[in-house]
Amino acid sequence: MAIQTADVIMPGNENAFETGRRGQISSIAELDESYRWLLEKNVTATLATIKRNGLPQLTPIWVAHDGVNILVNTKKGRLKDRNMRARADVAILCVNPTNPYHWMAINGKVVEMIEETDPARGREATDNVNELARRYIDTTPYPLRDPKGEVRVLFKVRPTYVMTFGPPPTS
């Protein structure tokens, strides 16, 4: 499935933004490296889901990708977990922490959900949260578990649209 892309540009006029190049890519792996790194380094992203009442819910998240899907890991029962189970449409915003004019917004759909308790594939959810902990807080295994028996859930989000803005600083 093709992922639609659009670059937002500033053509040189103050306060004038417009959509620049439009295109298609077939996977996250094809994103320009200047944007893909926002998913590969310890950039805190923002996940937008839709609540039962139709209002958006925003959550800061640790994020990764597998080349095709965006990987979102959460505790079973949290609001974002309930929202994604009920409504598969999500958006993810990644902003360069050193340059707020370099960002990427991704619209997508949840295409798969793996709970740690799944005997066949549950290890994927555990391995993912441990890898995120290693990357974001330099420790493993993930140390912030609820001692009352937390179950992690790995959501795979297939991008449908990616909008990018601004190249990173060249230095």
pLDDT tens digits, one per residue of 21-54: 677 888 889 998 989 999 999 999 999 999 999 9
Name the domain count of the chain. 1
The pair of structure tokens assigned to 111 is 């295409």
pLDDT tens digits, one per residue of 79-97: 999 999 999 999 999 999 9
Please report the pLDDT score of residue 20 as a whole number.
59
Exposure string of 49-88, with b = 16+ CB inside 10 Å and e = fewer, is bbeeeeeeeeeebbbbbeeebbbbbbebeeebbbbbeeeb
| Cβ pair 36, 70 in contact under 8 A | no
Identify the CATH number of the domain in which residue 63 sits.
2.30.110.10
Band of residue 148 on the pLDDT scale cut at 50, 70, 90 = confident
Instruction: Decide if 156 is inside a domain.
Output: yes
- The amino acid present at 6, given as its one-letter code, is A
